[in-house]
Structure 1
């Protein structure tokens, strides 16, 4: 499958720290990260998939004594994450690089977090990305993810002074896609969120807490 990431990483390079200014309240992310902190043994490896600036997720996981590895397509975001979370290890990489047989082998993880990162992919790639997450997890490993509820596929939107392409699902379809990739959904929550920037519309954010089937 040919990958088209044109403009996606560059947009986030341009956005930089303004991302956290536009999304100052991340209750769903914080709650899901705390779920991982409570559930995981000390020193467990966690992959932050689409780590962004490293705030708040990677920092909180590292502060809790977990071994944090983060990847992001944006070099600018990786640089910010390294500055914000010196205890973590961060790489500029694509989820596609982590597939079985791909160029990156980061080993296995007790948990993976993917907050608003899978929505950057066309819908055709999302099931394969979920299977990649399944591959990266140890049996019974934990997976937390969030998506914006929307029936769109690779749709261009204005975003904090740039443009990006996003995909989404309605709630029941998202559950079906996640379960089909080999995950049990343990908990679900949603938030209505109004970003602190005029060019991003209010949205419904869906958070799923999952466990990999053995």
Structure 2
């Protein structure tokens, strides 16, 4: 049986291996970036945003800064190769390599957390820990905007995108995820299905932390 630490190492190695090809294949725009524009409009000037699973930064960090250049955006990823790409693409961002189950961020210092296509690479048994970490670092009234797996599933794709490495997905499904967010202290504001630039449809949820 593969343990959670091994899964995390597999995910990190796979992202390191495909970072350049994935960045080239995924456009920096698309309908899901409009959700970031909406979020930026609801934040005060100078707000701090933590982008969890930032990748090369072009779709999330860059979109947020284009919407409001005053934002203090921190990009977090497990992949050092992805972070190197982000450092080139968005030099104004602060970047850190870390695991989302243990965020290296002080309590109540963030106004919003974004997590695009990232939480479902963590074993679903650890998702409540991830949402508790989001709640810990957010100020009261802060937002989380995250991609959510639509159905309960867990899978591994071998030789993902020709990388020679396995990629792992794990989700308890949308209803359980919303319940987990609520248990962490969030109120779900909305959920939307949005077309993804790679040709699929993704489910996004925006939730707000209680005061």
1:141 aligns with 2:142: yes
Tell me, in whole angstroms, the C-alpha distance in 2 between the residues paired with 1:94 and 1:23: 23
What does residue range 46-195 of structure 1 map to in structure 2 within 5 Å? 46-63=49-66, 64-65=68-69, 66-98=71-103, 104-106=104-106, 108-153=109-154, 155-158=155-158, 159-162=160-163, 163-191=166-194, 193=196, 195=198
Task: Report the counterpart of residue 207 of structure 1 in structure 2.
Answer: 204
CA contact 1:54–1:81 (8 Å) conserved in 2: yes
Tell me, in whole angstroms, the C-alpha distance in 2 between the residues paired with 1:194 and 1:172: 25
Tell me, in whole angstroms, the C-alpha distance in 2 between the residues paired with 1:144 and 1:14: 27
CA contact 1:22–1:160 (8 Å) conserved in 2: no
- What value does the CA root-mean-square deviation take over the aligned residues? 2.1
CA gap 1:152/1:72 in 2 versus in 1, 3 angstroms: same
Per-residue CA shift, 1:110-165, capped at 9, x if unaligned?
10101111101001100110000000100000110002323213x20243223211
Flag structure 2 segments of 5+ consecutive residues without an equivalent: none
Tell me, in whole angstroms, the C-alpha distance in 2 between the residues paired with 1:21 and 1:207: 23
Tell me, in whole angstroms, the C-alpha distance in 2 between the residues paired with 1:51 and 1:75: 11
